[in-house]
């Protein structure tokens, strides 16, 4: 029988996308700081992008290693070098990207076969989007846990809709008619146009994900219990076990590179008044029409508030640059507004005292980073589970306002839908969020500060810290049980 201090080894299997790799690498740090060995599946180009975690591990003497396997671009029909979801050139290639992700099963099997018994992982933590890890865990007899990079609010609402066998939708006659989510703690309404998972074509895929989730030992969620207690409890009844270990972003400032600490935006923020600047960023995947970006710029300009606006590399069209430079947008807002092209150190920016608000697409990582920083948010959801996050922010937590988007914009639909948010609506939302002396705004800001404090307490010895201990203990028990049986 194995001793109690059996050396645990966690194998982390993320999907190759920024919003999955980021929390997975943060989780690796947390596990390694508890003395565990951690192996992260990665592909060569992503390994270059995430190499800073290996430096971090060296600095802190942690046992974190990459298992780098080639991404089968050619075999899956992807252009060479397309190893991360943010480098896909067209929405038509999304299925190919998933196919390539599924093909990672083969090199992983080979790796596991060749490992000696001592090096075999004690546990797999798998991305929900890699359902093949179910077979892998059966074949190699390794316990498997699913990682969720979404909120329990999303998980529970989505579960409740599907539990009703979508009956709740039967009386809904149009995409814009609202319906209430059944059997949840709050009155929350959506329209069909806002919820991608009720699209018929996605159902088989989502059912496969669900099966892989329910057969796992349990789920690890990047959230914290105090943020959404009723939804954590609700989802606890759905899965075998649940461990809320977030916000994972709260361990990342230690691991950021010195390049990030010297980013121009941070120096720029140093000269600004406390809580005066709006940070505007739409994550790693959202695509915009240039016309919509110009409208956003004009809204920010009209709001008269200081801002940092991050424009994704893929959105930096020649036309947009022309507007920013030759048509003098940047000149007009100089001193008050800063445009960052490409990637910004979001977590560092959000935690700067000069930041007073966050205009976000409501991706879960961004939402949780805003929550952790204690800043109120303006919600501009686009796709995936972002409309759920908007409801959580605005209606449940009451720490944000809506910009007023009504329908989900799937990648490739931008042209068809045109300019969806007008400059006046952006200006109005920014003023509502940022204006001082507005009682309602002050209460919202105070609530945001309070949830930010709760988030920090959760990871600094609070509920998330405890959940991490319980997770490790659970895996230890499984390993000991397995050893005793063999």
- The footprint of ligand UDP (CB under 6 A) covers 18-19, 22, 281, 283-285, 310, 343-344, 346-347, 363-366, 369
Q: Judged by CB, which is closer to ligand UDP: 36, or 340?
A: 340
Instruction: Select 363 or 441, whichever has its Cβ closest to ligand UDP.
Output: 363
Kindly tell me which of 281 and 293 has the beta carbon lying closer to ligand UDP. Answer: 281
Taking the least distance from each CB to ligand UDP, the nearer of 142 and 280 is: 280
What is the closest distance, in whole angstroms, from the C-beta atom of residue 249 to ligand UDP in the complex? 6
Least Å distance between CB 122 and ligand UDP?
28
Smaller CB distance to ligand UDP: residue 276 or 346?
346
Instruction: Identify which of residues 122 and 223 has a Cβ nearer to ligand UDP in the complex.
Output: 223
Nearest distance in Å: CB 343, ligand UDP: 4
Q: How far is CA 64 from the centre of its chain?
A: 22
**Closest approach of ligand UDP to the CB of residue 257, in Å:** 12
Q: To the nearest whole angstrom, how small is the minimum distance from the Cβ of residue 282 to ligand UDP? A: 7
Smallest gap from Cβ 209 to ligand UDP, in A, equals 16
Supply the minimum distance, in Å, between the C-beta of residue 321 and ligand UDP.
17
Q: Which is nearer to ligand UDP, 344 or 451 (CB)?
A: 344
Residue at shortest CB range from ligand UDP = 363
List phi, psi (to 5°) of 88.
-70, 130
């Amino acid at each position: 029988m194995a001793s109690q201090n059996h050396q645990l080894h966690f194998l982390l299997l993320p999907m190759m996308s920024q919003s999955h790799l980021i929390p997975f690498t943060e989780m690796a740090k947390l596990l390694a700081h508890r003395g565990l060995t951690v192996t992260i599946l990665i592909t060569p180009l992503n390994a270059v992008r995430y190499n800073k975690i290996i430096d971090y591990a060296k600095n802190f003497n942690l046992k974190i290693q990459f298992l780098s396997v080639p991404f089968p671009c050619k075999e899956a029909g992807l252009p060479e070098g397309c190893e991360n979801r943010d480098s896909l050139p067209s929405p038509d290639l999304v299925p190919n990207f998933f196919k390539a992700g599924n093909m990672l099963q083969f090199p992983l099997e080979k790796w596991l076969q060749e490992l000696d018994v001592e090096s075999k992982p004690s546990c797999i933590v798998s991305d929900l989007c890699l359902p093949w890890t179910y077979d892998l865990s059966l074949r190699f007899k390794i316990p498997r846990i699913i990682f969720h990079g979404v909120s329990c609010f999303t998980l529970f609402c989505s579960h409740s809709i599907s539990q009703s066998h979508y009956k709740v939708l039967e009386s809904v006659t149009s995409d814009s008619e609202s319906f209430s989510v059944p059997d949840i703690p709050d009155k929350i309404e959506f329209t069909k146009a806002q919820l991608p998972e009720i699209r018929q074509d996605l159902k088989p895929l989502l059912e496969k994900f669900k099966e892989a989730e329910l057969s796992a030992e349990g789920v690890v969620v990047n959230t914290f219990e105090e943020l959404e207690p009723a939804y954590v409890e609700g989802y606890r009844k759905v899965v075998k076990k649940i461990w809320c270990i977030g916000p994972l972003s709260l361990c990342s400032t230690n691991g950021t590179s010195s390049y990030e600490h010297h980013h121009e935006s941070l120096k720029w923020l140093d000269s600004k008044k406390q809580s005066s600047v709006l940070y505007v960023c739409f994550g790693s995947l959202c695509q915009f029409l240039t016309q919509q970006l110009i409208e956003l710029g004009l809204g920010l300009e009209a709001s008269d508030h200081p801002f940092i606006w991050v424009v994704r590399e893929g959105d930096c069209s020649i036309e947009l640059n022309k507007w920013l430079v030759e048509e003098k947008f940047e000149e007009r807002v100089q001193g008050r507004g800063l445009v960052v092209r490409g990637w910004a150190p979001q977590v560092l920016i959000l935690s700067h005292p000069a930041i007073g608000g966050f205009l976000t697409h409501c991706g879960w990582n961004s939402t949780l980073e805003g929550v952790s920083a204690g800043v109120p948010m303006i919600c501009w959801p686009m796709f995936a589970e972002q409309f759920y996050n908007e409801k959580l922010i605005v209606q449940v937590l009451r720490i944000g306002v809506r910009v007023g988007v009504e329908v989900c914009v799937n990648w490739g639909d931008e042209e068809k839908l045109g300019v969806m948010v007008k400059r006046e609506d952006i200006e109005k939302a920014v003023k509502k969020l940022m204006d001082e002396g507005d009682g309602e705004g002050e209460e919202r800001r105070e609530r945001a500060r309070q949830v930010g404090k709760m988030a920090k307490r959760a990871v600094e010895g609070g509920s998330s810290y405890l959940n991490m201990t319980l997770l490790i203990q659970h895996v230890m028990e499984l390993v000991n049980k397995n050893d005793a049986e063999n």
